[in-house]
Structure 1
Amino acid sequence: MKNYLKPISMTFMATVLCVSTAQAQFLDIFNPKKVKEKIGNTLNPGRQQTRPTQNNQYNPPANQPALKQYGAAIPAPAVLNQAVARLISQNPNRIGNTAIDIKNVRALYALRGNKAIWTNEEGLSNMGKALQDLLTNLSTLHGLEPQYYLTNDVKERFVGGDWNSVAELDLLLTQGYMLFVKDMSTGRINPRDPSQGLQDIELKKNEAPSLAYLNSITKNANPDELFAGVANTAPQVQGYTLLVESLAKINDGIKMGGWYGLDKNIVLRPGQSHPNVVGLRQRLVDFGYLPYDQRANMSQSYDSSMVEAMSRFQQYNFLKADGVVGPAAYGAIDQPVQKRISQIRANLEKWRLYPRKTPDRFILIDMGRQQLDVMDGGQLMMRMNVVVGAELTGTPSMLDKVTSIVLAPYWTSPNSIVVKETIPQFGSSPADNLAASNVEIVSGKRILTDSEINSINWGQYTMQKPPPYLFRQKRGERNALGMVKFNLTNDHSIYLHDTNAKNKFNEIVRYFSHGCIRLEKPFLLAAYLKDPESVSGIYGRTLHERLANVEASLEYSAGSLLADAQMKAQFEQGLEAKADPVSPVSVYIFGTTTVNYLDGEIGFGQDIYKQDERIIKALDQMANSDSALKALGNQ
């Protein structure tokens, strides 16, 4: 079987990372100008199927509904502007059933002399038609819903009325415009709102574009400037735009009739023929593994091109890449199309929540592919597999920083583990049970004896009444934290660490921890963070070679960490040997369930924490305009 491993792109903030499970090949594809062009092309409402237009120009849509003319004599524009000014002076918090953020709406109109923005004496102006098209089509391309912005109150005013109705339409469109730009730039959901059930996304929303910016892209009444200005509010990184493209391809497939059904009882092997091949090919095209022109191919032959595409699909979806289509492959490729669309929509929203800028040196932990990357000056310096939180003990998405490195750490069990896992396993001899796990119990500064441990009534303790003792695993190779720990600043006792269960790194899917992040190569990371400049000049012909050279250079430093005089003294005194990095290093924990690839493929991971489901639920709840305005005020 051929090796179908090829570079995978996983971009974070302003950096493109090329991912491969077997090798990494550096592709310096990030170029801000090209990414901007890519976004502009992707956002263009004139996009046909999977072929984006080649410019940033707005193309007015054909056959769009327009306002009726209001009698034979059309009033002068001044009459409309007077109606707009009069409506604004009334400070309406609601027009029809649509809530209005009147404070910001009024401020935007004030910058324009309280003149209409989207309408004129003929009904919708070119700007109005451009905005209508953006709110209708662009929102769908980005996983947002048109009804968030074009409410029923807007649609009712498309059919005509008096000039007061036209003024109301202008304000309603302004409200939709401001909300859409905010959603594109900062994300629509608000994890800080407890009612949304997204407490495991610990992110502060980005700043929304200023009123001055919103005015600047509309003041010249130029649809092209509006289009480009809105495009610039979306995340300007390849990972986001590739995900937008993936969503567009799937929606194109729906327009072409969707997918043929599959007989999942059939195990399909290379060289065979079966009707399933047609349905598989449709899905592989829509997921980016085959060229667009293959969607019309009705051949039932499972030929070499199909086998190769399926093998890549298996690999990129965390399956055994053998080209054989059995239960596991069907389970991944034959999910309902709306489920995949929701998964992409949720991940687009995650991208919109993340910061637009990163420091030169940072650590990225992508829970979707369960890997850690170290970035420095735009270069990938280190990559390793990680183990992240299990289903019921998930790792939150958050921004943090490494503040110190600890060698031969103790592991102190949190009360949740002590009460729910440790005590229930005590049996008739708690002391023997603890000894088998290399755990000691500390009361104050004293370690309890075996007889003291066995004499305690452990059944009395609950989460509401936890035991007044410290359960501490002794230092050494048997310790759950292994031989090195990286302290973070969060309040959840989550940190990066070595492990005594190294076999888990061989698993394709690695959700096993209690929330902390276990590292495949912790000593290499420790050596790097202590002296990052020592490998700054190391090169290689490929990224794979350069990463290998970096690791080889760090091996000696990693093996001699205890030679550091300060750490050695602490260690010999029975203390945790601690060293600070040169400076605190930012850590970005990114909870994706999709991975995008440079050739346009998309891979889907497990939504093990049900986070995607909760994001979509929050988006749907916020379809109510009052909820959207509440989120706007709380960001």
Structure 2
Amino acid sequence: MTLSPTRRSTMKLIAAGAVGFVLPNFVGASRADAAVTALKQAIAEAAAKDEALSAFYRERNYKPVFVGNGDGRRRGALLKALASAGDHGLPIGAYDAAGLKAAMKAAKTPSDRGRVEVMAATRMLDYADHLRSGVLTPRRIDSLLVMDVPRYDRASTIDAFSKSNPAAFLKKMAPRKPEYVRLQKEKLQLEKLLGKGGWGDKVQAKSLKPGQSGGAVVQLRNRLIRMGYMRKSATQSYDVKMQSAVQKFQINHGLSPDGVAGASTIAQVNKDAQDRLQQVLVAMERQRWNSRPLEKKHVWVNIPDFHVDIMKNGKSTFRSRVVVGKNTSDRRTPEFSDTMEFMIINPSWYVPRSIVTKEYLPLMQRNKGAAGQLQIIGRNGKPVSRSSINFSQYNAKNFPYSMKQPPSKGNALGLVKFMFPNKHNIYLHDTPSKSLFGRESRAFSHGCIRVHKPFDFAYALLASQEKDPEGFFQSALRTKRERRVDLREPLPVHIAYYTAWVDAKGQAHYRNDVYNRDAQIFSALSRAGVSLRSVAS
């Protein structure tokens, strides 16, 4: 038997698995009816491989969203959004607005229009997902990027789009946090700067200080002017105005603001605009991963900034330097969010198993008295005399003891620790090693976060539940006994990693990529199609 073209199309549709779509009888059907049916059939076939899209179109009896006679606003809004994807640092090529527009114009037959319909829907969903939740999946980049990124249901997304003002809907996909908007403005400024050639000649000197003059000072002057730290000037000497500009630059780059352009300052001044643009693009991706609004009050730790803040209504009410994990594979501080529930005053330090077996066991195998400040604890929880242990018979796998340091000023955790129980065993705490807080780069710990002003941090946390938070804390401290103090209002904690951000005054801040995470993320973004660009001003 020879099938008619219509019957062949019907069999193709059934084979494509378009469940719920029933073709009408074509006997006596008008040419218009046949065209509508052919369009629906093409949509069903093109969407069959995408379960969410197939379900969406099936629910609406394969009525188009983009290629119908009344869908011009949706087509226009989508094409405009896709064409401007680069404004958000998204992979423009992944959406190919020009190609989609050409396909729309070239689609003459119902079958062509059906395929273009699904093409447009797919690209709209990809764009919406990338803009709302990020191009990348964090844990695939680094296992220590453990934030949970919300991914939204595709069928619900296109259904909402089909019922909304299309331009407004697509605009709302971007994070609405002011931090994201400020980064986007900085991105555009850097792109315009690249269009003009960047910041000019680099400073050809290892260091410069007030009172000096010459060609290198002029190079420093010119770069500071282009960066916005100095007004236009013809000075050739390192004068008071240049010293003030250097101090502002140092503050915004996490350097000691001494006004002297030392080696670390010169290194930051000589960074290319492209480098800064990469940092901003990565920061925007991170904002998309964390697009949900932050709580009115929370604890914020930015690893590359080496600081902890208590934030309230967008402003810092407490700030302290911190030391974070050392840049080795087993010590880097992970990025995650949790809830601080309590603090422990006069804490004991229960040494992590990895430190016991990797660091202390080899020491005690050479000298039983090594790490004498630590108690050896048996499986019954009681201290065991070192003289009774033959350390040489054990290795990292079979060592049956744990180790503990009782409360004391010399305790590795200091005199207070702040707990937000988590699987990473990361928390904030005091430390007897105060000298490290004087350094600009502070990545030295085993992973936990050491706080420079732990008592003040404790007072700030207790202020909402104690009339005299300092007196309460000091009274507990004087007992020299371990004491748990629950927070009546548990506080969200966010451990983040931003090497670029723009403050509420519009000042851009940059930090070093201490764990090389930004480089990993930008490499992955590049593979996904994100690229640097310059624009004409």
Tell me the equivalent position of 1:457.
Answer: 392
Give the SS at the match of 1:434.
coil
Structure 1 Cα separation of the partners of residues 456 and 220 of structure 2: 46
Residue 177 of structure 1: aligned partner = 124
CA gap 1:328/1:159 in 2 versus in 1, 3 angstroms: farther
2:471 matches 1:556: yes
Partner of 2:93: 147
Alpha-carbon distance change, 281 to 171 in structure 1, aligned in 2, over 3 angstroms = farther
The reply on whether 1:410 has 2:348 as its aligned counterpart is: yes
Q: Following TM superposition, by how much is the alpha carbon of 1:481 offset from its aligned partner in structure 2, in angstroms?
A: 0.3
- Work out the CA distance in 2 between the residues paired with 1:212 and 1:450: 64
1:274 pairs with 2:180? no
SS state at 2:377 partner: strand
- The residue number in structure 1 matching 2:147 is 203
Q: Cα deviations across residues 170-225 of structure 1 (Å, max 9, x unaligned)? A: 32222121111122222222234xxx2322111111253775565455546xxxx4
| CA radius of gyration, larger in | 2
Q: Match of 1:587? A: 493
Q: 1:606 aligns with which of 512, 516, 522?
A: 512
Match of residue 298 from structure 2: 362
Match of 1:434 among 361, 371, 396: 371
Counterpart of 1:495 in structure 2: which amino acid?
A: Y
Q: CA deviation at 1:363?
A: 1.7
Q: Contact 1:80 / 1:121 at 8 angstroms: preserved in 2?
A: no
Residue 319 (structure 1) aligned with residue 255 (structure 2): yes
User: How far has the Cα of 1:371 moved from its partner?
Assistant: 1.9
Residue 232 of structure 1 is matched in structure 2 by: 172
CA contact (8 A) 1:482 1:500 kept: yes
After TM superposition, the structure 1 = structure 2 runs for residues 243-254 of structure 1, keeping only pairs within 5 Å, are: 243-254=183-194
* 1:367–1:175 CA distance, 2 compared to 1 (3 A): same
C-alpha contact (below 8 Å) 2:82/2:97 kept by paired residues:
no
Q: 2:78 corresponds to which letter in structure 1? A: L
Q: Secondary structure at the match of 2:408?
A: coil
In structure 1, distance between residues paired with 2:153 and 2:492: 25
In the alignment, the residues of structure 1 paired with residue 316 and residue 141 of structure 2 have an alpha-carbon distance, to the nearest angstrom, of 34
Structure 2 CA distance for partners of 1:470 and 1:562, relative to 1, 3 Å: same
Q: 2 CA distance for matches of 1:229 and 1:608?
A: 38
Taking structure 1 as reference, are residues 160 and 213 closer, same or farther at Cα in structure 2, changes over 3 Å only? closer
Per-residue CA deviation, residues 282-332 of structure 1 (Å, 9 max, x unaligned), is 6764x55468xx7xx999787766554333122211223344445323321
| In 2, Cα distance between equivalents of 1:306 and 1:85 | 69
Task: Check the 8 A contact 1:524/1:554 in 2, yes or no.
Answer: no
Change (3 A) 1:406 1:334: same
* Aligned-partner Cα distance in 2 for 1:136–1:333: 34
Distance 2:96 2:308 in 1: 41
Shift, 1:470, TM fit: 0.5
Kindly indicate whether residue 421 of structure 2 is the aligned counterpart of residue 489 of structure 1.
Answer: yes
Whether the aligned pair in 2 keeps the contact of 1:319 and 1:329 (CA below 8 Å) is yes
Q: What displacement does 1:379 show?
A: 5.9
Partner of 1:443: 378
1:132 deviates by 2.3
Secondary structure at the aligned position of 2:215 is classed as: coil
Q: CA deviation at 1:260?
A: 2.7
Question: Does the aligned pair in 2 maintain the 1:368–1:594 contact within 8 Å?
Answer: no
Partner of 1:187: 134
Which whole-Å CA distance do the structure 1 matches of 2:477 and 2:32 have between them? 79
Q: What amino acid is the match of 1:168? A: R
- Relative to structure 1, the CA distance from residue 340 to residue 112 in structure 2 (aligned partners, 3 Å threshold; closer, same or farther) is farther
Partner of 1:28: none
Superposition TM-score, scaled by structure 2 size: 0.80
Judged with a 3 Å threshold, the aligned counterparts in structure 2 of structure 1 residues 250 and 344 are, in CA distance, closer, same or farther, namely same
Whole-Å separation in 2 of the counterparts to 1:301 and 1:109: 70
Alignment partners' CA distance in 1, 2:103 and 2:516: 40
The answer to whether residue 42 in structure 2 is matched with residue 87 in structure 1 is: yes
* Counterpart residue type for residue 330 of structure 1: I
- Cα separation, 1, equivalents of 2:429 and 2:340: 11
1:401 matched residue in structure 2: 339
Change (3 A) 1:381 1:121: closer
Please report how far the alpha carbon of residue 515 of structure 1 lies from its aligned counterpart in structure 2 after TM superposition: 0.8
CA displacement, residues 206-258 of structure 1 (integer Å, 9 cap, x when unaligned):
253775565455546xxxx4333223222222222111111111111122233
Deviations 1:458-495 (A, max 9, x none): 6x413xx1521112123200110011122222112211
**1:331-342 pair list within 5 angstroms:** 331-342=267-278
Structure 1 residue aligned with 2:309: 373
5+ long unaligned stretches in structure 1: 1-75, 95-101, 536-552, 625-635
Q: Is the 8 A contact 2:224 2:245 kept in 1?
A: no
Shift of 1:582: 1.2
Structure-1 separation of matches of 2:75 and 2:237 = 51
Identity of aligned residues (%): 25
Pairing 1:415-426 to 2, within 5 Å after superposition: 415-426=353-364
Partner of 2:288: 352
Q: Is the 8 A contact 2:203 2:219 kept in 1?
A: no
Q: What's the CA shift for 1:456?
A: 2.1
Distance 2:521 2:514 in 1: 14
Cα separation, 2, equivalents of 1:117 and 1:274:
63
Matches within 5 A, 1:536-547: none
CA distance in 1, matches of 2:169, 2:218: 44
Q: 8 Å contact 1:384–1:519 — kept in the other structure?
A: yes
Summarize deviations over 1:372-422 as a string: whole Å, max 9, x none: 222356664422222211111111111112233222222122222123222
Show the 5 A alignment for 1:250-261: 250-261=190-201
The change in CA–CA distance for 1:269 and 1:434 in structure 2 (over 3 A counts) is: closer
The 8 Å contact of residues 108 and 211 in structure 1, kept in 2 or not, is answered as: yes
Flag structure 2 segments of 5+ consecutive residues without an equivalent.
1-30, 531-537
The answer to whether the 8 Å contact 1:262/1:276 transfers is: no
Aligned partners of 2:116 and 2:452: how far apart in 1? Answer: 58
- Alpha-carbon distance change, 390 to 266 in structure 1, aligned in 2, over 3 angstroms: closer
Match of 2:522 in 1: 616
Is contact 2:411–2:432 with CA below 8 Å preserved after alignment? yes
Residues 442 and 77 of structure 1: CA distance in aligned 2, closer, same or farther (over 3 Å): farther
Segment drifting more, 610-619 vs 260-269: 260-269
Cα distance in 1 for residues equivalent to 2:187 and 2:32: 41
Q: Do the aligned residues in 1 keep the contact of 2:340 with 2:493 (CA within 8 Å)?
A: yes
The 1:174/1:408 distance shift into structure 2, 3 A limit, reads same
Name the amino acid aligned to 2:81.
L
Does the CA-based 8 Å contact 1:261-1:276 persist in structure 2?
A: no
The change in CA–CA distance for 1:127 and 1:310 in structure 2 (over 3 A counts) is farther
- DSSP-derived class of the 1:172 partner: helix
RMSD: 3.6
Give the Cα–Cα distance (whole angstroms) in 2 for the partners of residues 147 and 81 of structure 1.
32
Contact 1:415 1:466 in 2 (8 A): no
Q: Does 1:596 align with 2:502?
A: yes
Pairwise CA distance, 1:516:
0.7
Match of 2:75 among 124, 128, 135: 128
The answer to whether the Cα contact below 8 Å between 2:175 and 2:288 also exists between their aligned partners in 1 is yes
Q: Distance in 1 between matches of 2:131 and 2:234?
A: 39
Question: Is 1:524 the counterpart of 2:452 in the alignment?
Answer: no
**Matched-pair contact (CA < 8 Å) for 2:43–2:115:** no
Q: Which residue identity does 2:341 align to in structure 1?
A: T
Instruction: Specify the code of the residue in structure 1 equivalent to 2:525.
Output: L
Give the deviation of 1:428 after TM superposition.
3.8
Q: What's the CA shift for 1:524?
A: 3.5
Separation in structure 1 between the aligned mates of residue 237 and residue 229 of structure 2, nearest angstrom = 17
Secondary structure, in 3 states, of the residue corresponding to 1:90? Answer: helix
